[in-house]
Amino acid sequence: MDLSIIIPMFNEAENAEHTLSRVEEALSSYQGDYEIIAVNDGSTDETLQVLEKVTALNKKIKIISYPMNIGRGMALRKGFRESKGEIVVSIDADLSYDPHYIIDLVETLKKEPQIDFVLGSPYMPGGGVQNVPFLRLWISKLGNRILQFAMPNRIHTSTGIFRAYRRKVLDSLELESDGKEIHIEILSKALALGFRVKEVPAILTGRKQGSSKFKFKKTATSHLLFSVFEKPMMIFGVLGILALGVGLLIGLYVAYLWFLGKLTPGRPLITFAILLILGGIQILSFGFIALQILTLRKEILRIQKENLELKDQILTKGKGKG
């Protein structure tokens, strides 16, 4: 199998048939074998029935379904696991990215063998946004700008689902996320393992049918936590230096009062300065410890990758002997 398209779906009865038809239309010029995997993430509407009707007429489309809604991360993990393509593309069910971009992402991987996965990016030069609600767009842009400072490659769009991966990338990752934070998890782990990424301009459009699954609180929290995790000094460094700097300034002021003979013994300002200095040093220490943990995490990821590769080699040899 040359290409697998993974489409997570939750309560997409209004979009499912049209989405699959549009994806197939976009792949009409593709020279190779492909499969489309629709993952029904515990929909409570008629999404599954619509998918079953479509797949009964088209053997290229497959369904993965489970009864409880868990999240996009689980849907993608199940889709990745069942896919057989050497290149795997993930795309939204509401077609917020036009399916014709699928060929662009796939061709980028074919033309540039040094690239391991490609991101469709509305926020890079050449990309764009159309008919997306202002508040959601503002939150998305702000979150991606914060993540841009956390990522080593200065990626413009870190949170989008529209991506194309070489099989070896997905086979090297132990993914855990159940929600939308899976996009950041994949990016973080893949870059830590040395895989190379490229962004391709794409247009992001607002949903035309169905209801949005966007949740502000959960999305914002996951972005901030990830940023702190990837670049702990963004928080610990700033807070530590701020506390240390204010403590030293207060200490200098206390020393100035002592030099003039105006310092009152037992003044709370002295204790406050000492606490700020000690607290600043402590916070900076937490930052350095976090950096060490981050280094250890990268080593663990490399070991996991080597173990997975070894496992694949053993299974391949076993099949060869069989």
pLDDT digits (tens, 9 = 90+) for 259-308: 888 777 777 888 888 899 999 899 888 888 877 777 777 777 778 777 77
Report the range of poorest mean pLDDT among 73-82, 173-182, 233-242, 243-252. Answer: 233-242
Instruction: Please give the Cα distance from 51 to 35 (Å, whole number).
Output: 14
pLDDT at 214 over 60: no
Average pLDDT, the chain: 87
More confident residue, 33 or 181: 33
The residue extents of the domains of the chain are: 3-227, 232-321
Handedness of CA 46, 49, 51, 57 (dihedral sign): negative
Q: 192: which residues sit within 8 A by CB, 6+ positions away?
A: 297, 298, 301, 302
Handedness of CA 269, 271, 272, 274 (dihedral sign): positive
What's the pLDDT score for residue 143?
80
Could you tell me what percent of the chain has a pLDDT over 90?
51
pLDDT at 113 over 80: yes
CATH 3.30.870.10 fits 3-227, yes or no: no
Pick the closest to residue 199 from 191, 207, 211 (CA basis): 191
Instruction: Please count the other Cβ atoms lying within 10 Å of the Cβ belonging to residue 104.
Output: 15
Instruction: Please give the Cα distance from 63 to 78 (Å, whole number).
Output: 11
More confident residue, 213 or 57: 57
What does each C-alpha distance from 181 to 43, 128, 222 come to in angstroms? 20, 22, 6
Q: State the pTM of this model.
A: 0.76
pLDDT digits (tens, 9 = 90+) for 233-263: 777 888 889 999 999 998 898 888 888 887 7
| Segment holding 40, helix H or strand E | strand 34-41
Instruction: Please give the Cα distance from 95 to 101 (Å, whole number).
Output: 11
Instruction: Please give the Cα distance from 276 to 279 (Å, whole number).
Output: 5
Q: Which two tokens stand for residue 149?
A: 């400072």
Instruction: Please give the Cα distance from 313 to 93 (Å, whole number).
Output: 35
Pairing of strands 3-9, 34-41: parallel
Model confidence at 181, pLDDT cuts 50, 70, 90, reads confident
247, HSE (Cβ side, Cα atoms, 13 Å): 18
What's the pLDDT score for residue 227?
63
Residue labelled with tokens 């991506």: 163
Report the range of poorest mean pLDDT among 43-57, 85-99, 215-229, 269-283. Answer: 215-229
Backbone angles phi, psi at 235, to 5 degrees: -100, -55
pLDDT digits (tens, 9 = 90+) for 117-157: 999 999 999 999 998 888 888 888 888 887 787 776 789 99
